[in-house]
Each structure stands twice: as C-alpha cells, then as structure tokens.
Structure 1
Amino acid sequence: MDARNIGLRNIEVADTKICSIDGENGKLIYRGYDILDLVKHSTFEETAYLLLFGELPTASQLKDFSRRLTEARGIPEPLIKNLKNRPKRAQPMDVLQSCVSELADYDLNIEDSSKEAHVRRAITLIAKIPAIVAAWNRVRNGQHVVDPLEEGSHAANFLYMLRGVEPSAEEVKVMDICLILHAEHSFNASTFAAREIASTRAHMYACISGAVGALSGELHGGANVQVMKMLLEIADPANVDKWVASRLQSGGRIMGMGHAVYRTTDPRADVLARLSKEISREKNNKWYEITERVERATKKYMLEHKRQAIYPNVDLYSASLYYSMGIPMDLNTPIFAISRIAGWSAHVIEEKFAEAAPKPALYRPKAVYVGKYCGPMGCEYTPLSGRQEQQHTS
C-alpha cells in the first residue's frame, strides 16, 4: 500500500462547499471567508449561520437564528436526572456522547428526513451541547444545574451555566473567538466520521454522537489536554529547553506542534497565542511563557538537527488559554465539541442533501488484506481436539 494513502491521507472522498484549507500558506476559509476576518468582525452565532446556510445572515436573519438558539438551550429534565445518576468519575466526552444520542428520544419528529428537520436538529444540538457540558461539570462537583440565560450570547450563556455567575465582557469575547476558531476544519477525523455515518442514512443525533467519539481521542480533540499535561509536567519556563530536547531525542512528540495539513503555522494558533498571552498577563501566571518557550525550543531543535520544520497547531495555545480562564482541563475537548457542532451539522446536511445524486452514497473504502493466507481454498479447519496450544500476543 502507498504509505501516503494510509489513514486516507491525500485521498479525495467528496466535494464540499463548507471549508477550504490551504496548508502551504496557512489559510483557513469558511464558506469563502477567511477565518481571521471572521474572528475580527463576526460572532459565533453569525459564523454558525454561515456554516449552516452558506451565506452571512442579514440583521433580521441573525436575530431570528439567535432567538432559535436561545429558545433551544434548555435540557430535558429526564436527561438531567440521568446525569445525576452517572458515576462522578465519568469522562466528560463519554457523558456528552451518550447525551447526544439520548437527545434523539426527545425529537418528536425523528422520522422526518427533510432538510428543514435537519436544520432544526442542528440548531437544537448547537444550543444544547454547551448546556450539557456545563450541567455535567456542575453535577459531578455536587453543584446545582444552572438554568440557561433567557438572553445573551452563546459564549456568555456557556460560561454562565458553567460557573453560575455572569462572566466578564472580556471573557465572553475570548470564548466567542475560540468558538469561531474551532467551528469547522473540513474533513478532519470527527467530521469524516459524521459524514460517513450520515452516508448510511442514520439520523443527525447518531452522526454527531459518532463525531463526538472521534473527537475524544488524544490525536484529535484530546490533544489540547495532552498539551496542558505537558505544560504542567514542565512546570517552569527554565525547564523547557532541557525537557523538549529530552523528549525529541527519545523519539517522543511535542503535543501541539505539527499538523497533518498545515506546513506552516496554523492560522488559529496565532490568534490563540495572542489571547493566551493577554489572559496569562492578566492572571499573572506562567502558562503562556512556558508554551511560547516550548514552541521556540521545538523549532530550534528541529533546525539544529536538520529535521523537517514543524509549527504550532490549534491545540498548543488553546490549552494554556483555557487553563488560565479557570476551565477544568478535561473540559478542553468538550469545548471543542461545543464549537465544532456547527461544522459537523453543516457537513451532515451537505452529505445528505448535496446536489450530486444519488445521496448519500454509502462510504465503503477498500482494505488490503495482509493476514494469514493458507492457499487459494483458505486455511483448513482443525477440530478443537486437534489444536495445539499457541502463545498469542495482545
């Protein structure tokens, strides 16, 4: 097998109008709009609308979309009861995945397969996922679940439900920018998982549940948690150079450095680095300084040892940013999901309703069999009594 094709790397599997990535030049485009322009001028609500509908909204369209999101924030009481019955040690991403599946139980028109029904489900999921993440964090800490705000932005509502007190305007702006940055990234692992499930004609909740599961892995959405663990292990800026050199000499990876697509700095990383620097300075902590030194030390080591240059990705600075904001480390990946649900939903809808026919075309990749081969007729079956003990490795 061609090594470049392992993991479907460089294999074109579908067309999309949602997102474009220029890995050579570090450009990320949502529906034709540069991510840096959206960060500067837009909001998460407006960006979510853009991803779902393909165009920026008018003032009245944005008002209506925001109203629909606000009205859908509440969590069904039985779902909250189920949260309270879960072991407090349950992982937030596992809790979120099961809750997304459970939301299907409350969709009274689950058999409706129209595009309009899928848009409604997308709005439901965009609105409720932040509430679920916040509710679980409070339940596991023995706190009461906070009712959502009846008005206020998506970012403000999440921080309020998480903490039980209204956040500052500065914190809301930072969170809003983070949500925009993480909202979409073309055919990454979790998005492809959602589209693959959509191709079977499964409903939206099943697609998004699968995407949440894919996002939970440390090589995808879980990477920013690993970054923060790295920063905590380093502990002091003075330890960075020695720690990085030791890790790379032993063949280890520096989490938050390098990307499957970008051959230069991930454009999201530059924005997050600026925000992390501002928050660290405000909180008077060391986390931005350690992170920035990790970036410099890694680049220096790769250059001195004539290895291929690697650059920071979205996870490197988001870890220190969220930690400085007082957000529990294991909520980093759920926050990723709070944002990425906008992109996931857009992709599910595109997979199901794109112009090209027939849709969906069931994904069915081909594998190369490299297992036991006993001849053209296969292996001869040996009865149980005649089999010899063999040592198996797991």
Structure 2
Amino acid sequence: MDTRNIGLRNIEVADTKISSIDGENGKLIYRGYDILDLVNHSTFEETSYLLLYGDLPLQDQLEEFSAKLASQRRIPDSIFKNMKNRPTTADPMDVLQSSVLELADYDADRTDESKAANLARAISLIAKIPTIVAGWDRIRNKEEPIEPLPNRSHAHNFLYMLKGKQPKYDVSKIFDISLILHAEHSFNASTFAAREIASTRASIYASVGGAIGALSGELHGGANIQVMKMLLEIGDISNVESWVTQRIKEGKRIMGMGHAVYRTTDPRSEVLATLSRAISKENNTKWYEMTEKIEQVTKKLMYKTKKIHIYPNVDLYSASLYYSLGIPMDLNTTIFAISRIAGWNAHIIEEKFAEAAPKPALYRPKAVYVGRYCGPMGCEYVNLVLRKPQKPNIESKAI
C-alpha cells in the first residue's frame, strides 16, 4: 500500500469550481479570486454570495442577499429553551451541532430538495449559526440571549449579540476579515465530511451537522483552542524559547505550525498576524508578541535540527486575535464554523447539483484489510464453551 494515500492524501475525489489551493506558492483562490483581493476589497456577505452563486454580486444583488441574511438571524425560542436545559459545561461545538440539526424540525419545506430550496436553507444557516453561538455563551453565563440587529453587518451583529454592546468599527472590520479568511478551504476534513454526507442525499442540515463534528477535532478546527492553551501554558515571552526547544526535543507538535497542504506560508496566516498585531495594540500586546516569538523559534529550530522549513498555519495567529477580541477561548472553533458555513454550503450544493456529467456518486472509498487472516476460506467459528485463550500477537496478513 502506498502510505502517501493514507487519509486520502493526494487522492483526487471530485471536481470543484469553488476554491483552489496552490500549496507550493501559498495561494488560496475563491471562485477565481485571490483571497488577498477579497480581504482587501470585499466583505463576508459579499464573499458568501460569491461562494454560493459563483460570481461577485451586483449592488442590488448584494443588498438583497444581505437583507435575506438579516431577516433569517432569529432562531426558534424552543431551541434556546433546549439550550437552557443543558449543563453549562456542555462543549460549544456540541451545542452548535445539535442546534443546527434541530433547525430541520422548523423547515416547513424540508422535503423540497430543489436547488432553490437548498440555497434558501444555506442563507438561513449562515444567518443563524452566529445567533446560536452567541446565545449559548450568554445562556451558560446565566444571561438572556440578545436579539440580533436587523441592519448591521454579519460580523458586527455577532460581536454585539455576544457582548451586549456595539463594537467599534475597526473591531468589527477586523472580525469581518477573519471571517473571509476562514470561509472556504477546498476539501479539508470538515468540507469532505459535508460532501460525503451530501452524496448520500441526506439533508443540508445533516451534512452541516457532520461538518461541525469534523471541525471540532483538535487536528482541524479545534487547533486554535490548542494554540491558545499553549500560549497560556508558556505564560510569558521569556519562556518561549526553552518551551519550544523542549517540545521539539521530545518530538511533539508545536500547535499552529505546519500544514497538510501548504509548503510555504499560508496566505491566511500573514493576514491574521497583521490583524492580531493591530488589535493587540488596543489591548495587550503580550499574546501577539508571544505568538510571533513561537513562530520565529520554531522555524529556526526545525531547520537547525531537522533541516525542515515550517510555516504558521491559519490557527497560530487566530488564537491570539480572538483572545484579544475578548472572545472566550472555547468559542474559537465555533467562530471557525460561523465563517466556514459559507464554504460548507457551497460544497453541499455543488455535491447535490453538479452541472457536469457524471453526476456526483455516493462516496465509497476502498480500504486495505490488514486484520486477522486464517487462510483463503476464512477463520473457523468455535462454539463459546469450546474456545481457548488466543495467543498473543496473532499474525495478520493483508489480502
């Protein structure tokens, strides 16, 4: 077996028109547009429209799309009621996942699987996920959820619902940019999970629920929480070099460093570093400065000891950015979901309604069996009373 293919690495599983990653040159493209152009000129609403519909909107199209998002922000009171019955220690990603699945119960047209119906659901999910996340944080802190604003941006509205006060323009703009950066990233683990579920003709709610589950893991969206835990463990910039040195000596990972696709700088990490530096100047520069030091020391030591060039990924600077924005650390991964829902929806709809032939098929990869082997006829079943203890280290053979 070619070990490079474990985890489907380097295996092309489908065509997509949604995004492209050039890992060798550090390029990320959404529907033909460089992520850096979108960061400099676009908004999350406009970027979401691009991902869903394939083109940048005209002025009236963007206004209509933004108005639809604003009108769909509220969630049923019964979902908030269910949240209030949960233990306050519940993981925010678990709460988000179950709440998204509950939304299916309130979809009056849930049997309509047309493209138009799924686009309407996509807009609703983009609008509602921030309300769920902010609502849960307030509920677990014994506070009532805040009604979403009807006439403010997606980024501004979430920060308002979370904190109960209007954020400054520069703060909401920084958050808006971070949402653009996280909105889409081709066939990553959560997006592939969403597409695989969609390939069974399951609903968009089931597909997004599966994506949220995949995103929650610390090797995917949960990595930014691990980065912040790392910063808190190190404690001070004076401890960075010794901590990183010991970590590398023990052969352990430095969270936020290295990427499965990029062989040079992740373009998102450079923007996030700039945002983290900017927001830290208004609060506390400690976390940004520590993060920068971790990047510098890790790069130096990895090349010195292993002759490996390593670069920061999207999680390294997003951790200090969100922490400096006053967002609770365990909400980091839900912030990722608030953004990535745009990309997930685009991929789910592409999976369901591909224009090119052949149509998407049920995903069914092949595994290589390396378990118990008793010969070509298989193992003989022995009655329970006649069974003897098995010998240790039973030899296995791939067939």
Which category of TM-score, normalised to the shorter sequence, fits these structures? over 0.9
Aligned partner of 1:118 in structure 2 is 118
Q: CA deviation at 1:282?
A: 1.4
How far apart, CA to CA, are the structure 2 residues paired with 1:12 and 1:153?
A: 37
How far apart, CA to CA, are the structure 2 residues paired with 1:180 and 1:237?
A: 30
Supply the AA of the counterpart residue of 1:133: V
Aligned partner of 1:147 in structure 2 is 147
Secondary structure, counterpart of 2:280 in structure 1: helix
Q: Check if 1:196 corresponds to 2:184.
A: no
Aligned partner of 1:321 in structure 2 is 321
Q: CA deviation at 1:356?
A: 2.5
Aligned partner of 2:43 in structure 1 is 43
Secondary structure, counterpart of 2:242 in structure 1: helix
Equivalence map 1:236-251=2 (5 Å) = 236-251=236-251
Q: CA deviation at 1:141?
A: 0.5
Aligned partner of 1:370 in structure 2 is 370
Q: CA deviation at 1:212?
A: 0.3
Aligned partner of 2:339 in structure 1 is 339
Aligned partner of 2:397 in structure 1 is none
Q: CA deviation at 1:376?
A: 1.3
> Is the Cα contact below 8 Å between 1:200 and 1:360 reproduced in 2?
no
Gaps of 5+ in 1: none
Secondary structure, counterpart of 1:29 in structure 2: strand
Q: CA deviation at 1:359?
A: 2.9
User: Does the C-alpha gap of structure 1 residues 199 and 251 become closer, same or farther in structure 2, counting only changes over 3 Å?
Assistant: same
Equivalence map 1:352-371=2 (5 Å) = 352-371=352-371
Aligned partner of 1:213 in structure 2 is 213
Q: CA deviation at 1:166?
A: 1.0
How far apart, CA to CA, are the structure 2 residues paired with 1:392 and 1:359?
A: 48
> Is the Cα contact below 8 Å between 1:198 and 1:360 reproduced in 2?
no
Supply the AA of the counterpart residue of 1:26: G
Aligned partner of 1:8 in structure 2 is 8
How far apart, CA to CA, are the structure 2 residues paired with 1:342 and 1:391?
A: 53
Aligned partner of 1:183 in structure 2 is 183
> Is the Cα contact below 8 Å between 2:197 and 2:207 reproduced in 1?
yes
Supply the AA of the counterpart residue of 2:359: K
> Is the Cα contact below 8 Å between 2:171 and 2:279 reproduced in 1?
no
Aligned partner of 1:172 in structure 2 is 172
Aligned partner of 2:384 in structure 1 is 384
Q: CA deviation at 1:307?
A: 2.7
Secondary structure, counterpart of 1:305 in structure 2: helix
Supply the AA of the counterpart residue of 1:92: P
Q: Check if 1:83 corresponds to 2:83.
A: yes
How far apart, CA to CA, are the structure 1 residues paired with 2:262 and 2:254?
A: 16
Secondary structure, counterpart of 1:219 in structure 2: coil
Supply the AA of the counterpart residue of 2:228: M
How far apart, CA to CA, are the structure 1 residues paired with 2:217 and 2:359?
A: 29
Indicate the percent of aligned positions where both proteins have the same amino acid.
71
Secondary structure, counterpart of 1:20 in structure 2: strand
Secondary structure, counterpart of 2:47 in structure 1: helix
Secondary structure, counterpart of 2:28 in structure 1: strand
Gaps of 5+ in 2: 394-399
Secondary structure, counterpart of 2:209 in structure 1: helix
> Is the Cα contact below 8 Å between 1:373 and 1:379 reproduced in 2?
yes
> Is the Cα contact below 8 Å between 2:240 and 2:290 reproduced in 1?
yes
Supply the AA of the counterpart residue of 1:280: S
Q: CA deviation at 1:358?
A: 4.5
Aligned partner of 1:56 in structure 2 is 56
Q: Check if 1:270 corresponds to 2:270.
A: yes
Aligned partner of 1:29 in structure 2 is 29
How far apart, CA to CA, are the structure 2 residues paired with 1:223 and 1:142?
A: 28
Give the paired residue count.
393
How far apart, CA to CA, are the structure 2 residues paired with 1:11 and 1:47?
A: 28
Q: CA deviation at 1:388?
A: 2.9
Q: CA deviation at 1:357?
A: 3.5
User: Does the C-alpha gap of structure 1 residues 285 and 390 become closer, same or farther in structure 2, counting only changes over 3 Å?
Assistant: farther
Q: CA deviation at 1:150?
A: 1.5
> Is the Cα contact below 8 Å between 1:49 and 1:56 reproduced in 2?
yes
Once superposed, which parts of structure 1, at least 4 consecutive aligned residues long, lie more than 4 Å away?
389-393
Equivalence map 1:133-144=2 (5 Å) = 133-144=133-144
Relative to the length of structure 2, the TM-score reads 0.97
User: Does the C-alpha gap of structure 1 residues 392 and 105 become closer, same or farther in structure 2, counting only changes over 3 Å?
Assistant: farther
Q: CA deviation at 1:391?
A: 9.1
> Is the Cα contact below 8 Å between 1:21 and 1:29 reproduced in 2?
yes
Supply the AA of the counterpart residue of 1:341: I
Q: CA deviation at 1:171?
A: 1.0
**CA distances 1:314-365 after superposition (whole Å, capped 9, x unpaired):** 0000000000111000000000000000000000000111113353300000
> Is the Cα contact below 8 Å between 1:199 and 1:359 reproduced in 2?
no
How far apart, CA to CA, are the structure 1 residues paired with 2:42 and 2:286?
A: 30
